[in-house]
Structure 1
Amino acid sequence: MADNGSSVPPITSNSPQHHRRTHSQCPLLQLPAELRMNIYESAFAVTKGATVDLFAAEPLPRGLLLTCHEIYHETIALYKQARQDYWSTTKFFARDLLRAVALSKLPLLQQSTISHITSLELSGVDEEFGSKFEVMYGEGLWQYAEYETPAGPDGGGFGGFELVDSTKYLVLPTKDKRTNTENALLKAGRLTRHINEYTAKPGLCAFVNITGVNEGDRLRVKAYAKTKALSLWELEGVVRYTLPHS
């Protein structure tokens, strides 16, 4: 029979009838909007300053967003902010790493999340040489520290580690990939004297040693470092050039 315009349209997932039915069947959506927002904020609460293994990080679950369209639209902004807060306020670590193990785990990380990290500590132990390495990331800079087991009277170690080197670095792309801002930063002072261009993997990164530079250069570096986000290539470079071999 031809459609004369008087037939009742079917109820689809996009129809007003469907939304009214979903709303009436969901107890959560029957609550006042203010109370719902309190529930959402509790569901996405982040423990700021928590200490978490970088390679075992579990960001906020998405289950609540997947319940229905209305809840999704009510919660998506909160969820995105909570995820960013999780990565930016958590103190991440990865301990007792060997270089090959750490490199094999890097593909598990995503640039979209790693860029929000503000605190990270990596460490590794070279048992053959009795050395321990730590690299700590904060405010865009890396603090590298190397420890060795002191020799005892019989030539062996006598427990614990002794600090033998500590240096702070700004990690930049190699020369052919630097931005105008980064080139200007290096030319503004005498920082080019303190660059180590690493080529173990061509085109990966360069380390600028700021431990021994003058105060003016150091302040410029710190101001710039605070404006940049952590990159996966930067993390890979630090892993390659600081952690011990297997």
Structure 2
Amino acid sequence: MSNLLDLVVRGGPVMIPILGFSVATIACALERSWFWYQLLSQEDRIVHDVLAAAHHNLDEARGIAEQAQTLPIGRFLLAPLRLRQPTPETFRLAMEAAGDREFVQMRKGDKLLETTVAVSPLLGLLGTVTGLIVTFSSLNIGGGGTTEQATQAASGIGEALITTAAGMIVAIMALLIFRVLVTLQARQVDYFSEVGTELELIYRQTWYEPLLEEPDRPSQVATPYG
């Protein structure tokens, strides 16, 4: 801890925002890790239970989805199941709207990481430039200089480069985390699409088509589809 504080002091004032970006990046990584761990460790079971129940009882499927409302997949499946006798088009529209909302939540933290990737190296370069300006301004170039002055200049240049290294490290760390999150998000888009299509097919084949034959069915629901 003391070494870290020493580096911050040696790097100058620019190290403060770089350190802030590093803390924010780590906090974002931890929060997103917990989010994805909860989702990925439970969603397959929830999907299996909801789809299995939907084959014989929509109310049971809705109850399972309601119990999983804390997770995106639960809210996604619940959106169409809570509707009363929807048309297949309405059923699909409810899923699409719910999916769009969940994808927005899945992208939480992306803007912070993108900003960190872009700004941290620039802050590092700024700290290096200002450090070099201070170092060179303290040299007595016209007087020839001594070995001691050369040593101090080399030390000053080394300290000035600390901010560049720190900025690049933070940016690389944020970029790696961002790429992992983007990959997970892309996989979830495909997964939600696959699950949504399967649930819609179950509804169309098991719960909507037989109702078309009922004479008391409201005309707007009994409109042929396809």
Identify whether the pair has TM-score above 0.5, normalized to the shorter chain: no
Tell me the TM-score normalised to structure 2 length.
Answer: 0.31
Higher relative helix content: 2
Higher relative strand content: 1
Q: Which has the higher contact order (CA 8 A, sep 6+)?
A: 2
- For the pair shown, which has the larger CA radius of gyration, 1 or 2? 2
